[in-house]
Amino acid sequence: MKRNTIQRALVLKAVNHLRSHATAEEVYDAVVRDHPHISKGTVYRNLNQLAEDGEIQKLEMPDGPDCFDHRLHRHYHAKCSQCGRVFDVDMDYMTDLVRLVKDAHGFAIDGHNLVFTGVCPACQQATRPVLPG
């Protein structure tokens, strides 16, 4: 039986409020502001349990900490190679991609998680040279 603890509710509320593909550290920082006695371990355990229970998504990020997403439907993400922020990608989830890999290699694949990399608009803007006017 799963327990609905106050700590679990606080962690879920923080993920839903941040709405930014937050890392566990960012969720902890958000929770501890109002509840200074909560431990980092409690936040981390509850994040993982919420993900296991399907209440949030855990995104394993290449070359960085895992992120937690409040959006539950299957979708893709892009990670900025300069600032590290993670964004939703506006495109349909490709369910037939699994079939193609299964046919080519014989795996019993049941899903996929793609993370595109590039430079976000804010970082692009920050690196543009200012032309004398």
Domain covering 73-128: architecture:
2-Layer Sandwich (3.30)
Mean pLDDT of 30-52: 96
- pTM score of the predicted model: 0.81
Q: pLDDT category, 1, cuts 50, 70, 90?
A: very low
Task: Give the strand order in the sheet containing 86-89.
Answer: 86-89, 76-80, 115-118
Q: pLDDT category, 105, cuts 50, 70, 90?
A: confident
Q: Count the Cβ atoms, other than its own, within 10 Å of residue 91.
A: 10
Q: What is the domain partition of the chain in residue ranges?
A: 1-71, 73-128
| CA trace torsion 106, 108, 111, 115 (10° rounding) | -40
87 vs 120: CA distance, rounded Å: 9
Give, in words, the CATH class of 1-71: mainly alpha
HSE on the CB side for 100, CA within 13 Å? 5
